[in-house]
Homo-oligomer: A and B are copies of this chain.
Amino acid sequence: MPNSGLDRLDISILEALQENARMPLSEIGRRIGLSQPATSERVKRLEERGIVTGYGARIDPAALGLGMMAIIRIRTTHEHIHPALRAFAEMPHVIEVHRMTGEDCFLLKVQVPSPGQLETIVDSIARFGAVTTSLVLRSEPAKPLGKALLEGA
Contacts and interface: CB of A to CB of B under 8 A. Distances in A.
A111 interface: yes
Nearest to A108: B140
A83 interface: no
Given A65-B153, A145-B61, A148-B66, A140 B50 contact: no
A31 interface: no
- The quantity of this chain's copies bound in the complex is 2
12 contacts: A2-B65, A3-B64, A4-B63, A6-B64, A22-B55, A55-B58, A66-B149, A71-B98, A95-B145, A96-B140, A98-B139, A102-B132
Interface of A: 1-4, 6, 14, 17-22, 49-61, 63-66, 69, 71, 85, 88-89, 92-102, 104, 107, 111, 113, 117, 132-140, 142-145, 147-149, 151, 153
